[in-house]
Amino acid sequence: MPNFKGTRFTNAHETLIWCSMGEKAKYTFNYRAMKTLNDELQMRSDWVLPICGGQERLKKAGHKVHPTQKPEALLYRVMLATTNKGDVVLDPFFGTGTTGAVAKRLGREWIGCERESIYREAALERIELALPLDESALTTMQSPKAAPKVAFGTLVETGLITAGAKVFDKKRKLSATVRADGSLVAGAEIGSIHGLGAKLQGAPSCNGWTFWHIEHEGELKPLDAIRQLYLLATED
């Protein structure tokens, strides 16, 4: 935030206005993605981000192309929090295209308005060089309420996990066999991925998606990784 003349507190923040398009309009807020981004802590409303500098700062003939170029980290967080893949982001004061570059990386469409030709040229050149993230990387964490429900049996019936396959805990100390109905069997014990996992550990509960692992493409992966593959394949 620029420091204007005056005897008062120095400016230490800019305000982000977050709103919907009408009283009945729903806004997007990817709460779970923000919590994951913040090391599993609910993200605060005050953010400390470094100003744009280094290789990110656009220069021509040794001079800054734009005096108030925004850091990509800021736009990344804003878009990750308030938009979804495929959404259109409008920036009516486009400048050197930070919004467009980050939108491209995150799989969002963009519209930019800028009257200064020098900024437009820099923006288009910058966006051309921006590399979009891989499709699988764009799948962000969702809240339990928003996440699509997928039964383990669905992965079995679609063939992503075959009946008779072996699953293990991460250290391969425990193992079980997948049955045709999506249940697991270990010796005389039978149950769901969650129930059997809890029973074998002597625990009150168990998240079978992360506890059980399976061999996939030469690696031991949690069942949740296979579930994410299914979600990607069935995404609209």
Q: Render pLDDT for 54-111 as a digit per residue (tens, 0 to 9).
A: 888 999 999 999 999 999 999 999 999 999 989 999 999 999 999 999 999 999 999 9
Give residue 215's domain range.
Answer: 152-233
In contact, 191 and 183? CB cutoff 8 Å: yes
The average pLDDT across 123-136 equals 87
Cα dist. 137→22, 65, 88, 95, 105 in Å?
32, 31, 19, 28, 10
Q: Say if residue 126 is in the same domain as residue 183.
A: no
Q: Coil, strand or helix: which one is 177?
A: strand
Q: Are residues 36 and 58 in the same domain?
A: yes
CA separation for the pair 231, 227 (Å, rounded)? 6
The answer to whether residue 129 is domain-embedded is yes
Asked, for residue 24, whether it belongs to a domain, the answer is no
Together in a domain, 66 and 129: yes
**Whether the predicted pLDDT of 236 surpasses 80:** no
**Domain count for the chain:** 2
Q: What is the pLDDT of residue 2?
A: 58
Q: What is the pLDDT of residue 87?
A: 94
Report how far apart the first and last C-alpha atoms of the chain are (Å, whole number): 41
128 and 71 both lie in a single domain:
yes
Q: Residue 20 in contact with residue 27, Cβ under 8 Å? A: yes
The pLDDT score that the predictor gives to residue 3 is: 61
The reported pLDDT for the residue numbered 10 is 79
Domain boundary among 90, 110, 138: 138
Query: 229 and 185 share a domain?
Result: yes
